Structure 1
Amino acid sequence: MKRRSFLKSVPTVAVASQILPAQDAKPPFGAEFPSLDSQTTGTWWAPRAVAAPKANPGGKGKAKGKGKGNAGPIVDLNVPRDQVVCFAIYTHERGVLKVSAQLFPLKPAEAREARLEIKRGDAWQEVARAEVLYPGWDAHFRVEGWDNTQTAPYRVRHGEKAMFEGTIRRDPIEKDEIVIANMSCNSARTKGGRPEIVNRLLQQDPDLLFFAGDQTYHHTEHTAGWIEFGLQFRDVMRDRPTICIPDDHDVGHGNLWGENGKRSTIPGDADGGYRYPVEYVNQVQRQQSWHLPDAVDPAPADRGITVYFTRMRVGGIDFAILEDRKFKSGPAGKIPQMGPRPDHINDEKYDPKAIDLPGLQLLGERQMKFMRDWTQDWSGAQLKCVLSATAFCGAVHLHGSPDNRLLADLDCNGWPQTGRNEALREIRRARATHLCGDQHLAVTLKHGIDEFGDGPYGFTSPALVNTIYGRWWHPKDEKPGPNAVAGSPLPWTGDFKDGLGNRMSIMAYANPEDIQDEKKRADGYGLARFNKKTGQVTFECWPRFSDGSQFPGWPITVNTDDNDGRKPTAWLPEIIVEGAERPVIQVIAESNGEVLYTIRAKSSRFQPPVYAEGSYTVKIGKDKPDAQTLAGLKATDKAKAGSKTVKV
């Protein structure tokens, strides 16, 4: 396919002979928001006046909504008509292939239908047709009965000549190592391609791509911004499954507390909810996330805002995909304000418990139920990993500039603390690793819940392009914490509490050296290499402009078993399982019914550790703990515990 620069201006020649359909002739999101997606709707090909961007320091949605759009075209939208299929992304899970295609805007005489073809042998076979939706210009294909043991070329077609080609990879279940690329925060202030990142990713050949959010910062022009993102990354996305979740900037926010879908009404949106119309939010989510496996609980949130939290298995790694902004409470009006704005705290004497109040939500009960179910279902899984937009702590000191120190930022998932700890306990129950983005600062750490180090490992990716709101890890006393990483090239590792009182053990961080110099502002991305044979995961952190070296402090290799960092105080009898080489073992405290953990054992023999004296129930099965139950097992010394044999 012939490539064109996507940095040129939209041609200024109007097509006067074409008549726009009536449904396209008015602002698609209502008169209150005429600028939403204005570059790709209406008579998008016609010349138009360019308005200067309006100042909007408070982030009030109404003011931005009533503006006249961005100050100039984001990308060249009026492409040759044999190039109107811009890119495609896909996943497949349990026999269902889902493909989303993004088209450039179509003209009135052009068919609003796209076709998906799969190559079987030497012949192309059409397997699905889909409407090209407006606004958005996206098309979506669902193919049942997909054979994930086979690799197959695909192409999305429009009309006679336009097409986008790629490869549907088979599930790499036979590989010992599964690699996921961890990426976020693709600043729009640096135009053009991302060849340094894409070319290295093509060489590293990850099995899965994870874009954790802020794929575009064009708040009111998502379709044009999404097309820009696709042009930047399509050469690596076309040939491997891609998980993509929108975050705050994708839906037009500086920060987002979705509060189950309500509408935000104050500057900065800290009251909770969404600034822009439901239809716009749903379009963003559809364009970025429709191709994910079906939502596990698809009922919409309030006002009809769609949901997409789900699970996906690749090569034996089971990923829980969260919407960590959608159900989170907004702070304004719910907690005492202790800073210049409702979500910022600078009072070093404040009590963190004063803002961790009953009724505040983080993931919300629907997602917590999903997490509880997910941790106990090991079908097709050997290791588990949780994916979310942002981190479950505030591992940042300096915000926006090196002279702006902030004690606590409620935009991170370290608040509310009770919800944070509940989420981490569920992650710990499956000994899962956590990957995320959003913070514009690469950090690898070990979470602490009740004690330092008793929680799972987390890896926050650096910003792909870090021109918007840089951040730094820089303790005020410039001293390492207890248990600092031995031999680290970094000065401030070890045990710390964030400004919300959350425990965290910092293992590595990648501070910008000079935020004004694009080669020193810590742009980059992460890789996580899951080794199913050893049970280890290796975190890699790559600068955008790398000389072949990673950021100082990486790579870091850890054991996934240590995602549960609690120290055993007693043991149950060794479980010898007949009929399963790697059974699933669940341990439940009989005193209160708490599930301590549900894991896939490394062999048919497993001696369960526990963390207090008492009686326990152990459940065993092949993929779920549903085949055998042993109740009333007493915790004791490891050498005295004995053994139990069960068949599954």
Structure 2
Amino acid sequence: MQHPKSFQCRFPLSSKLLISSDGTAFKRNHANSGVTAFCLIAALAFVSTGSLVRADFASDWKGSRQWVSPDTWAHPLYGWRTENGKLIASAAPKHLLHQLTHQITDPSKSFSTTTTLQFLSTDVEKPQKISAGFAFGVQGLMDDYRHVLSGTIRSHEAGIRMDGTLFIDNTLTKQKISATEPVTLILAVSGGHATLEAVCGDQKLSVESDLPLESIKGNLALHAHSPSPHSYKRQPIEVAFLKWSGEGPALSDHAEQTFGPILWSQYTLHKRTLKLNVQFAAIGTDDDQHATLTIDGKKLKSQIDPHSRTALFRLEDLDDTDDHPYAVSYRWQGTDYTWEGMVRKQPNGPLRLAAFSCDHGYAFPLSKLVDQVLQENPDIVFFAGDQIYELYGGLFLQRKPLNTAILDYLRKYYQFGWTWRHVLKDRPSIIIPDDHDVFQGNLWGHGGRVAPDGKQEAGGYVMPAAFVNMVQRTQTAHLPDSPDPKPAEQGIGVYFTTFNYSGIPFILLEDRKFKSGPSSVLPKNRRNLSPEDVDVPEAELLGTRQEALLARWADETKDAPARVVLSQTIFCKASTHSGQTLKRSRYDLDCNGWPHTPRNRALKLLANNPATIMVHGDQHFGILLRHGIEQHGDGPLAFMVPGTANGFPRAWWPESGEVTGNHMDRYGNKMTVIAAANPEKGSNTLQPRKTDHPDMTAFKKGSGHGLITIDSAAKTATFDMWRFPLDVPKQFDGFPQTIPLDGK
């Protein structure tokens, strides 16, 4: 934690500080009573102690980097940076720099905040539309300072426009002050009365406004605004902030509410080989580029990758029958930072696997869900994809240039890690990206090629290979080594692999990267095609390399008392309704029910062991079923978990009304449904970013997670499907289910 510098109360140059005979400080001829009150406090402290009072917080910006500091959060990450000790902001809608360690929690009391800023852009049309200053009372639909960072729905703004006008919300000054030089802004709020004073040289100007008390409560931030969204196609309008401080009894002080420079860690342990990946903030080139891992008395160093901002550690021959505490250390700006965790010994009894997918972001930081998972204490966790979504946080997606796109992704992925880091640090995790993680609505990777003309349905990647590899490094670098590591087209890395944990064999499949693009193998007009017409036998699903690995693994594990297959999505079309109106849907080429022939080919390889459990996410609802190949029930079990915060709605509402039992999907794939976790009808109309409480929205939309307890000795698996928690944890109807794994 950085220690704040002293708070300096700045008077206009034309004012004089006077001390009366009784020691009272007052400022003559000052029109701003609110600012005067705070300056009197500072002056009295100076007289009585001989030194200035310390601010509750004060900036200490040094050097040049994209990430600002541990006690602030930039929304968005690409919109704020430090440059030679100054804070540079790119003005655009919703661009805020939040203070993390201090919030306005008692609006009946007073606070003040001060900054000095300068507009760097000069030749701007409509300068009255450009502004910078403070945002306060920044609120969301949840009373959590972290939720507000990307879920802001209301705030007050006070600052200066580029034309020199001061404002508090819609209250403006008629006079103007020079805005071409550095301007010091002092905002003082007391009892609902807000006063903003601006000082530039010997000029001064102020504006006042009365505000409802409860509207003042919330986050405190700097803002830099222009009406145009950030775009690489136009020159950014930039503002420099030279310093920022604040104090007052209205502010709460939570020194522990920092984030960075070490953000979190994620690891796996397979065949006594530890791979531990550490995520860092977007540090600068002048910062230390190495981190240290201390474990079992050993110290390992690793370089921080300049794109993904990750440091990967590898340690061979680590005893997997014992716990191993570890610490990651990093020195930043003269301070040593440490992140600690535990490499768990492999469990001897039943294995508990928790599974998650599809966080649409509106319920960040999922506090109740995380608390429940920590209580469940799973042995291993699986995140099946869509850890982020393109519009996570309400900002426009940035695809170009590459560095901006990377920063756009990292800000969103940082929020995933912030949510789950206390789960990830103490147990192995399998994390894999899906389509939205690489900024695509759907992904048919077509072997890793470039998507023709940027059209995702043709098959291929829309974003450059460097971006895809960066995403994969953040999410998958810690996975056990792939037995077939040759990159796909464009040099895009692969991560499909096999591993054992607690005596249970696992295979991890990439069911997106090699799948054929539908418009490359199907006619444009598919409305009236039959299931036979839609099936393209030569189309790929897993690709030849993964099928070969699957065949070897299936043969080697045919007698295992239990085995697990992990991939992004389920091998059938398990939904009947989809879309914002939840209408009945016909074909969904995104699921692994298509293409039918390679789907069956993969499932036939797994049919040699009835104790096969396939685990997936992606579809935004949950289901437990047994696949059919030649007949109902002759394939593996499949457990698909809902999203942790469902967005695009889907449901399993068969026309017969019979949710369970034998069914056939649109592609002719057989499936025996055991239980389903559907959204509530009507939940597709909820607005969690505007009016409806995010937690209740997540609950009604059928969000949640899955937990599998695999008991190899008893040859059973118990499937829990938990609803998004409100108060008391509750499972979806039809769960839990305990299934024998002996095929009987």
1:195-214 matches, within 5 Å, as 195-214=367-386
Deviation at residue 419 of structure 1 after TM alignment: 0.8
- Closer, same or farther: CA 168–65 of 1 in aligned 2, 3 Å: farther
1:553 matched to which residue of 2? 734
Deviation at 1:230, TM superposition (A): 0.4
Partner of residue 99, structure 1: 276
For residue 83 of structure 1, report the CA deviation from its aligned partner: 3.5
Equivalent position to 1:182, from 355, 369, 372? 355
Determine the structure 1 residue equivalent to 2:623: 443
Determine whether 1:418 maps to 2:591. Answer: no
Q: Report the 3-state secondary structure (helix = DSSP H, G, I; strand = E; otherwise coil) of the residue aligned with 1:561.
A: coil
Per the alignment, residue 674 of structure 2 pairs with 507
* Residue in structure 2 matching 1:281, options 461, 468, 481: 468
From 486, 501, 513, the counterpart of 1:299: 486
**Closer, same or farther: CA 512–560 of 1 in aligned 2, 3 Å:** same
Match of 2:657 in 1: 479
Whole-angstrom distance in 2 between the partners of 1:316 and 1:469: 37
Q: 1:38 to 1:375 in 2, by over 3 A?
A: same
CA displacement at 1:107 relative to structure 2: 3.2
| 1:383 corresponds to 2:562 | yes
1:213 maps to amino acid? G
Match of 1:532 in 2: 712
Change (3 A) 1:381 1:49: farther
**Residue of structure 2 in register with 1:115 after alignment:** 292
Residue 453 of structure 1, CA deviation: 1.2
Counterpart mapping for 1:286-435 below 5 A: 286-339=473-526, 346-347=527-528, 350-378=529-557, 382-431=561-610, 432-435=612-615
Does the 8 Å contact 1:462/1:522 carry over to 2?
Answer: yes
C-alpha contact 1:115 1:129 (8 A) present in aligned 2: yes
Residue number in structure 2 paired with 1:457: 637
* 1:139 to 1:353, Cα distance in 2 relative to 1, 3 A: same
Between the aligned partners of 1:14 and 1:45, the Cα distance in structure 2 is: 10
Match of 2:29 in 1: none
Change (3 A) 1:155 1:316: same
Question: Paired residue for 2:702?
Answer: 522
Q: What's the CA shift string for 1:124-151, capped at 9, x where partnerless?
A: x343111111122111101111111110
- Inter-partner Cα distance in structure 2 for 1:95 and 1:451: 41
> Do the aligned partners of 1:169 and 1:239 also contact (CA within 8 Å) in 2?
yes
| 1:312 Cα deviation from its structure 2 partner | 2.0
* Helix, strand or coil at the partner of 2:293: strand
Structure 2's unaligned 5+ residue stretches are 3-56, 68-75, 96-228, 237-243, 245-255, 391-396, 398-404, 687-696
Alpha-carbon spacing, 1:381–1:451, altered in 2? closer, same or farther (3 Å) = closer
Higher strand share: 2
Alpha-carbon spacing, 1:380–1:404, altered in 2? closer, same or farther (3 Å): closer
1:261 to 448, 459, 462: 448
Matched-pair contact (CA < 8 Å) for 2:368–2:725? yes
1:161 is displaced (CA, Å) by 1.7
Q: Do the aligned partners of 2:537 and 2:596 also contact (CA within 8 Å) in 1?
A: no
AA aligned opposite 1:426: L
Return the letter of the residue paired with 2:337.
Answer: A
Whether contact under 8 Å (2:63, 2:82) holds in the other structure is no
Which sits farther off after the overlay, 293-302 or 392-401?
392-401
Q: Distance in 2 between matches of 1:200 and 1:82?
A: 22
TM-score, length-scaled by structure 2: 0.63
Structure with larger Rg: 2
- 1:141-170 CA-partner distances (Å, limit 9, x unpaired): 011111111101111111152121110001
Q: What is the DSSP-based 3-state SS (H/G/I as helix, E as strand, rest coil) of the residue aligned with 1:18?
A: coil
Moved more, 326-335 or 541-550: 541-550
- Give the SS at the match of 1:499: coil
SS of the residue corresponding to residue 89 of structure 2 reads coil
Contact (CA 8 Å) 2:580, 2:649: kept in 1 or not? yes
Give the residue type in structure 1 aligned to 2:361.
A
Q: Which moved more, 1:386-395 or 1:421-430?
A: 421-430
Q: 1:67 to 1:550 in 2, by over 3 A?
A: farther
Q: Is the CA contact (8 Å cut-off) linking 2:576 and 2:650 kept in structure 1? A: yes
Aligned-partner Cα distance in 1 for 2:581–2:343: 45
Distance 1:14 1:271 in 2: 50
Q: CA deviation at 1:420?
A: 0.6
Q: Number of residue pairs matched?
A: 497
User: C-alpha offsets along residues 240-295 of structure 1, whole Å, 9 cap, x if unaligned?
Assistant: 00010111111111100011110113465000110111011001001100000001
CA distance in 1, matches of 2:327, 2:235: 34
After superposition, what is the alpha-carbon deviation per residue over 1:29-71, rounded to whole angstroms, capped at 9, x for unaligned?
A: xxxxxxx984698969631122689xxxxxxxxx99957899x
Determine which of 224, 234, 249 is the counterpart of 2:411.
224
Shift of 1:559: 1.7
Q: Aligned in 2, Cα 1:134/1:463: closer, same or farther, shift over 3 Å?
A: same
CA distance 1:40–1:85, shift in 2 (3 Å)? farther
Deviation at 1:14, TM superposition (A): 10
CA RMSD of aligned residues (A): 3.1
Q: Give the C-alpha shift of residue 184 in structure 1.
A: 0.3
Q: Distance in 1 between matches of 2:290 and 2:574?
A: 47
Q: Distance in 2 between matches of 1:42 and 1:83?
A: 15
1:621 aligns with none
SS in structure 1 opposite 2:717? strand
Kindly provide the amino acid, as one letter, of the partner of residue 138 in structure 1.
Answer: T
Secondary structure of the residue that 2:718 maps to in structure 1? strand
1:244 aligns with 2:431: yes
Matching of residue 495 in structure 1 with residue 670 in structure 2:
no
Instruction: Map residues 605-616 of structure 1 onto 2, 5 A cutoff.
Output: none
Q: How many Å separate the matches in 1 of 2:371 and 2:318?
A: 30
- What is aligned with 1:626? none
Aligned residue for 2:698, secondary structure, equals coil
Q: What code does the residue aligned with 2:625 have?
A: L
Farther off after superposition, 252-261 or 395-404: 395-404
Q: Distance in 2 between matches of 1:454 and 1:170?
A: 36
- Report if aligned partners of 2:291, 2:302 keep a CA contact under 8 Å in 1: yes
The verdict on how the C-alpha distance between 1:352 and 1:266 changes in structure 2, with shifts beyond 3 A counting, is farther
- Native 8 Å contact 2:308 2:473 kept in 1: no
Q: Which segment drifts farther, 207-216 or 258-267?
A: 258-267
Choose from 160, 163, 171 the match for 2:338.
163
Q: What SS does structure 1 have at the residue aligned with 2:466?
A: helix
Aligned to 1:594: none
SS in 2 for 1:474: coil
